[in-house]
Amino acid sequence: MKPSEHDKKFDELISRAISRQRPKLDFDKWQKDHQKQIQDFKAATEPVPESVRPPNIGRIIMKSRITKFAAAAAIIVAAAVLMHYVGSPIESVALADVLERIEQVQAFMYRTKMTMTGAMMPGMPKEMEGMVTTSEGMVTVSNKYGVKVETTTVLKLSQEDQKEMTQQMYILPDQKVWITVMPEQKKYTRMELDDDLLARMRKQNNDPREMIKQIMNRKYIELGRSVIDGVEVEGFETTDPNFMAGMSKDVKIRLWVDVENRLPVRAEMDLQPNEQMQIHYVIYDYQWNIPVAESDFEPVIPGDFTAFPTDGIKMPPRTEQAAVEGLKFFAEIFGQYPKKVDWINLMQEFGNRMQEFRKLKDSESPAGEQMPDKLRQKLNIKEGQSEEEKATQFATQFLDMMRPVQSLSMFYMLLVADKKDPAYYGESVGPDDADAVLMRWKISDDQYRVIYGDLTAENVNAEQLAQLESPPSQ
Amino acid sequence: MLETELIKAAVAGDIDSFGRLAQRHYPALVAIGYSVLSDHGLAEDAAQEAFARALASLPSLRNKARFGPWLARICRNVANDMAAARARRPRTEDAPSAATDKNDDDIQAVRRALTQLPVSTRELIVLRYYDGLSYDEISSALGISKASINGRLTRAKRKMAKYLQRDGFLGSSI
């Protein structure tokens, strides 16, 4: 169809407003002005002798598999703990009695059992997709002193190939610190907690209240009465995929409450964040109003334990700027944005993409050529180290490398938790879709913040957002 | 010489091939810079700085088929950095261009409408109308199909028209 007279006039008007003569580049002058860059470029493109090529990162990564994944498992466990602190305000009243009862409790304990099945760890090879991670824990919560979590985790690939690790985590609000002790490695690490997270922790008073708030905030059904360990209980169930900041499409959460004292007796969570991964989590053996002392929350760090290289790091920032940095970082490495930004799916995608690099490395030479520079720099693993040293170094560098994407994930989870109507379109929008909405969330009644495919951001009103998110005309 | 051959040679270290590529992509990069900075001189500075940054990363360029969008992205980042730096300094007036001399209401209204557009939409409009890039050149710079450019331009102009109407501009041209 020919453009109408009206369109032509509008085109002419725009041209008159902004047109100018087409610029030409004087490349000779540009070269004179950029001699240093040209020199560096020539040095970088000179052929590199075989003997000084960078080490084959993929091969190093694949060694010491279980040891390495233990560090990744620790990240996931830590993220799972964090999830408790990104909850939402209460709207429903059906479980309000239970919550009110718990609010009066000053200290309590419970036990946990978790089974994770599937390829959930970064860099996990295909043959490890059947790996099962089981974890048993005991959690002590004190309104006054903080939280102590003791866990034993078993990573099991086969009967012969498994590793057990224990871990103690202390969240100490007064000191604004999160301490993790790893006895097998004789290591410990401290993470500084910021005021925002501490405020959330204080406000929400820790698990299991958060779970109740989450259930109350979602669509749920009453399961009626049953008996658990001789106690008459009443059940509540939600299958709302928005549970836990939308980290899992398939969700089933059940909470059983003592009919007599209206306190939780048992909770069960079944999550399937994606097709390859399943999580079954049980919280049981609640003990309410237990006596606790400050010494119960003092970390036990023997004198021969040393600080993990990440000791002293701060919690990744959870700001828009940090989220954009996370997106940028991911795109620089993989050429695309993550498909999803919830923590577990993000971790898994990261792992799968690392796998792709490994496959490319296996099929093409020279080895390591496909590894993006950014990743190679980050994982600058030196040859000549022991397997244990390499594993420790990998874990350290991996944690450091994950910080920007961790910020992205935590920022998004907070938007979900704070009901900011967030949406993320990483499955369909890439770095080259400059004008497409990549992520958005509400900042006021009629205003949204939008991050575009080119990572620029602006505020738009609801109508503009609807236009931006509408499919393009043909 | 074909663009793909030039890119291959440039990645391998041939500075002359890089120069020819830079000359080809310069107008698009200046337009991208202008869409962020609204200043002709700064837009050219941004494009030239983008080439310097591109040269540093060129040996590791993985997807050679997307050389244009890769350059555009670098230029966008440079321009954004410059805009941020400028925002921290006292503002100076843009040098007048041929178009800025025409101080009629229509043109001022269109410019105001342009500033109201989302950055990426404004970029597309500027690419098309700033120095008259063809659909082929825009396609090469943004890595999107010509059909897609047409659709996006249509939407972009529709948005501009809406802004103009909201701005009270009911000129006979639209």
Q: Point out the least confidently predicted range of A243-247, A393-397, A458-462.
A: A243-247
Determine whether the interchain pair A18/B11 forms a contact, defined as Cβ–Cβ distance below 8 Å. Answer: no
Per CB-CB distance under 8 Å, the chain B contacts of A434 are 72, 76, 119-120, 123-124, 142
Global pTM value: 0.49
Distance CA A187, CA A184 (A): 8
By CB atoms closer than 10 A (0-12, 13-18, 19+), residue A190 is buried
Average pLDDT over residues A186-204: 73
Q: Point out the least confidently predicted range of A145-159, B14-28, B87-101.
A: B87-101
Tell me the per-residue pLDDT of A29-45, one tens digit each, with 9 for 90 and over.
999 998 888 888 888 77
Chain A contact for B112 (CB, 8 A cutoff):
no
Per-residue pLDDT at A58 exceeds 50:
no
Both tokens assigned to A372: 């993006």
CA proximity to A310, closest of A403, A390, A176: A403
Per-residue pLDDT at A91 exceeds 60:
no
Interface test with A, best of B58, B154, B167, B173 (most A CBs within 10 A): B173
SS3 content of chain A, % helix, strand, coil (to 5): 40, 25, 35
pLDDT of residue A363: 44
Interface test with A, best of B45, B129, B172 (most A CBs within 10 A): B129
Strands A264-274 and A250-258, sheet pairing: antiparallel
Per-residue pLDDT at A173 exceeds 60:
yes
Per CB-CB distance under 8 Å, the chain B contacts of A432 are 66, 69, 73, 142-144
DSSP A92-144: --TTHHHHHHHHT-SEEEEEEEEEEESS-STT--GGGTT-EEEEEEEEEEETT
From B139, which residue of chain A is nearest by alpha-carbon distance?
A432
Q: Which amino acid is at A399?
A: L
Within 10 A of B170 (CB to CB), how many other CB atoms are there? Answer: 10
Averaged pLDDT score across all residues of chain A: 74
Interface test with A, best of B16, B40, B55, B108 (most A CBs within 10 A): B55
Determine whether the interchain pair B76/A14 forms a contact, defined as Cβ–Cβ distance below 8 Å. Answer: no
Determine whether the interchain pair B69/A435 forms a contact, defined as Cβ–Cβ distance below 8 Å. Answer: no
Both tokens assigned to A233: 């209980």
Q: Point out the least confidently predicted range of A225-234, A462-471, B28-37, B131-140.
A: A462-471
Per-residue pLDDT at B84 exceeds 70:
yes
How far apart are the CA of A332 and the nearest CA of chain B, in angstroms? Answer: 11
CB A217 within 8 A of CB A91: yes
Q: Point out the least confidently predicted range of A270-279, A374-383, A412-421, A443-452.
A: A374-383
Distance CA A207, CA A286 (A): 11
Question: In the structure, what pLDDT confidence band is assigned to residue A264 with cuts at 50, 70 and 90?
Answer: confident
Angle, CA of A328, A331 and A337, to the nearest 5°: 100
CA proximity to B48, closest of A17, A129, A25, A468: A25
How far apart are the CA of B90 and the nearest CA of chain A, in angstroms? Answer: 22
Strands of A437-442's sheet, edge to edge?
A423-424, A437-442, A447-452, A457-461
Question: In the structure, what pLDDT confidence band is assigned to residue B99 with cuts at 50, 70 and 90?
Answer: very low
User: What SS3 state is found at A277?
Assistant: strand
Question: In the structure, what pLDDT confidence band is assigned to residue A28 with cuts at 50, 70 and 90?
Answer: very high
From B9, which residue of chain A is nearest by alpha-carbon distance?
A45
How far apart are the CA of B80 and the nearest CA of chain A, in angstroms? Answer: 9
pLDDT of residue A47: 63
* From B40, B121, B161, residue closest to A435, measured CB to CB: B121
The helix (H) or strand (E) run that includes residue A423 is strand A423-424
pLDDT of residue B171: 52
Overall residue count recorded for chain B in this entry: 174
Per-residue pLDDT at A129 exceeds 70:
no
Looking at per-residue pLDDT, the higher value among A130 and A250 belongs to A250
Helix extents (H) in chain B: 3-11, 15-37, 40-57, 67-87, 105-116, 119-129, 135-142, 146-166
Both tokens assigned to A2: 């020919």
Per CB-CB distance under 8 Å, the chain A contacts of B60 are 372-373
Per-residue pLDDT at B76 exceeds 80:
yes
Q: Which amino acid is at B161?
A: A
Interface test with B, best of A18, A377, A474 (most B CBs within 10 A): A18
Determine whether the interchain pair A33/B99 forms a contact, defined as Cβ–Cβ distance below 8 Å. Answer: no
Task: Fill in the DSSP letter of residue A461.
Answer: E
Please give the backbone phi and psi of residue B62, each rounded to the nearest 5 degrees, phi first.
Answer: -90, -50
The rounded percent of chain A whose pLDDT value lies above 70 is: 66
* From B26, B52, B120, residue closest to A454, measured CB to CB: B120
pLDDT of residue B18: 94
Distance CA A345, CA A272 (A): 10
Per CB-CB distance under 8 Å, the chain A contacts of B38 are none
Q: Is the C-alpha dihedral spanning A352, A357, A361, A367 positive or negative?
A: negative
Q: Point out the least confidently predicted range of A204-213, A280-289, A294-303, A332-341.
A: A204-213
Please give the backbone phi and psi of residue A290, each rounded to the nearest 5 degrees, phi first.
Answer: -85, 150
Please give the backbone phi and psi of residue B64, each rounded to the nearest 5 degrees, phi first.
Answer: -65, -20
Looking at per-residue pLDDT, the higher value among B33 and A472 belongs to B33
Question: In the structure, what pLDDT confidence band is assigned to residue B161 with cuts at 50, 70 and 90?
Answer: confident
CB B2 within 8 A of CB B140: no
User: What SS3 state is found at B34?
Assistant: helix
ω into A302 cis (within 30 of 0) = no
**Within the 141-160 window of chain B, which residues sit less than 8 Å (CB to CB) from chain A?**
142-144, 148, 151-152, 154-157, 159-160
Size of interface A-B (CB pairs under 8 A): 171
Strands A187-192 and A306-307, sheet pairing: parallel
Determine whether the interchain pair B107/A467 forms a contact, defined as Cβ–Cβ distance below 8 Å. Answer: no
Within 10 A of A224 (CB to CB), how many other CB atoms are there? Answer: 8
Determine whether the interchain pair B142/A432 forms a contact, defined as Cβ–Cβ distance below 8 Å. Answer: yes
Question: In the structure, what pLDDT confidence band is assigned to residue B29 with cuts at 50, 70 and 90?
Answer: very high
* From B27, B111, B156, residue closest to A22, measured CB to CB: B27
Helix extents (H) in A241-296: 243-246
Distance CA A47, CA A28 (A): 26
Determine whether the interchain pair B59/A453 forms a contact, defined as Cβ–Cβ distance below 8 Å. Answer: no
Determine whether the interchain pair A31/B15 forms a contact, defined as Cβ–Cβ distance below 8 Å. Answer: yes
Determine whether the interchain pair B120/A436 forms a contact, defined as Cβ–Cβ distance below 8 Å. Answer: yes
pLDDT of residue A358: 53
What dihedral angle (degrees, nearest 10) is formed by the CA atoms of A223, A225, A226, A229?
Answer: 110
* From A18, A22, A33, residue closest to B99, measured CB to CB: A18
Determine whether the interchain pair B99/A38 forms a contact, defined as Cβ–Cβ distance below 8 Å. Answer: no
Most confident range (mean pLDDT) of A383-397, B30-44, B52-66 is B30-44
Q: Is the C-alpha dihedral spanning A382, A383, A384, A390 positive or negative?
A: positive
CA proximity to A311, closest of A178, A185, A190, A187: A190
Would you put residue A224 in left (φ > 0), alpha (ψ -120 to 50) or beta?
Answer: left
